[in-house]
Structure 1
Amino acid sequence: MIRYPDRALRTIGVTAPSSGVSEELHHLLEGATAQLEKQGFAVKTTANAWTQKEAKSSPAAIRAKELLSIWRDSKVDAIIPPWGGELLLEVLEHLDFQKFTPKWLLGYSDVSLLSLAITLNTGIATAHGTNIVDLRGSETDPTTARWVDVLSSTKGAVIKQVSSERHQKNWSHDKPAPGVFNLTEPTDWKTVSGQAERLEGRLLGGCIDVIRHLIGTPYGDVDAFRKKFISGEPVVWFLENCEMNTPDLKRSLLQMKYAGWFDNCSGIVFGRSEANDAVQGYTAEMVYQELAEQLKVPIVYDADIGHQPPQVILVNGAHAIFHVDDGKGRVVQEFR
Structure 2
Amino acid sequence: MITYPFLEKKATIGVTAPSSGVEPELYDLVKLSCSRLEGQGFRVICGDTVWTQDKAKSSPAMKRAQEFNGMMQDEAIDLIIPPWGGELLIEILDGIDFDTLTDKWVLGYSDTSLLLLAITLKAGIATAHGTNLIDLRGEYCDETTAMWKSVLSTEAGASITQYSSAKYQKIWQHDHPSPCVFHLTETTDWKTVSGDKVKAEGRLLGGCIDIIRHIIGTSYGDVQNFRENFINDEPIMWYLENCELKTTDLRRSLVQMKLAGWFENTSCIMFGRSPANESVENYTIEDVYQDLYNELQIPIVYDIDCGHVPPQITFVNGAYGVVEVEKGKGTIVQHFKA
TM-score, structure 2 normalization = 0.98
Map Cα deviations across residues 162-181 of structure 1 (whole Å, 9 max, x no partner).
00000011211111100000
Matched, 1:8 2:5: no
Give the equivalent residue in structure 2 for 1:303: 304
Calculate the aligned-residue CA RMSD, in Å: 0.7
Residue 55 of structure 1: SS of its match in structure 2?
A: coil
**Match for 2:61: what amino acid?**
A
Shift, 1:71, TM fit: 1.0
**Match for 1:101: what amino acid?**
T
CA distance in 1, matches of 2:315, 2:158: 13
Q: Determine if contact 2:6/2:152 at 8 Å carries over to the other structure.
A: no
Matched, 1:234 2:235: yes
CA distance in 1, matches of 2:336, 2:139: 31
Q: Determine if contact 1:125/1:315 at 8 Å carries over to the other structure.
A: yes
Residue 251 of structure 2: SS of its match in structure 1?
A: helix
CA distance in 2, matches of 1:295, 1:102: 34
1:51-130 alignment to 2 at 5 Å?
51-130=52-131
**Match for 2:234: what amino acid?**
E
Map Cα deviations across residues 210-232 of structure 1 (whole Å, 9 max, x no partner).
00001011111000000000000
CA distance in 1, matches of 2:177, 2:274: 21
**Match for 2:113: what amino acid?**
S
Q: Determine if contact 1:78/1:151 at 8 Å carries over to the other structure.
A: no
1:173-252 alignment to 2 at 5 Å?
173-252=174-253
Map Cα deviations across residues 204-256 of structure 1 (whole Å, 9 max, x no partner).
00000000001011111000000000000000000000000000000000000
Mean Cα deviation higher: 119-128 or 48-57:
48-57
Map Cα deviations across residues 268-305 of structure 1 (whole Å, 9 max, x no partner).
01000010001111111110011011011001000000
Give the equivalent residue in structure 1 for 2:264: 263
**Match for 1:5: what amino acid?**
P
CA distance in 2, matches of 1:153, 1:84: 25
CA distance in 1, matches of 2:171, 2:252: 26
Residue 33 of structure 1: SS of its match in structure 2?
A: helix
Matched, 1:149 2:150: yes
CA distance in 2, matches of 1:229, 1:242: 29
Give the equivalent residue in structure 2 for 1:40: 41
- Inter-CA distance 23–267: structure 2 relative to 1 (3 Å threshold): same
Q: Percent identity?
A: 60
Shift, 1:157, TM fit: 2.1
Mean Cα deviation higher: 90-99 or 121-130:
90-99
CA distance in 1, matches of 2:92, 2:155: 28
Shift, 1:199, TM fit: 1.4
**Match for 1:244: what amino acid?**
L
Deviation >2 Å, runs of 4+: none
Shift, 1:332, TM fit: 0.2
Shift, 1:7, TM fit: 5.2
- Inter-CA distance 164–7: structure 2 relative to 1 (3 Å threshold): closer
CA distance in 1, matches of 2:177, 2:7: 34
CA distance in 2, matches of 1:6, 1:239: 25
TM-score, structure 1 normalization = 0.99
Residue 26 of structure 1: SS of its match in structure 2?
A: helix
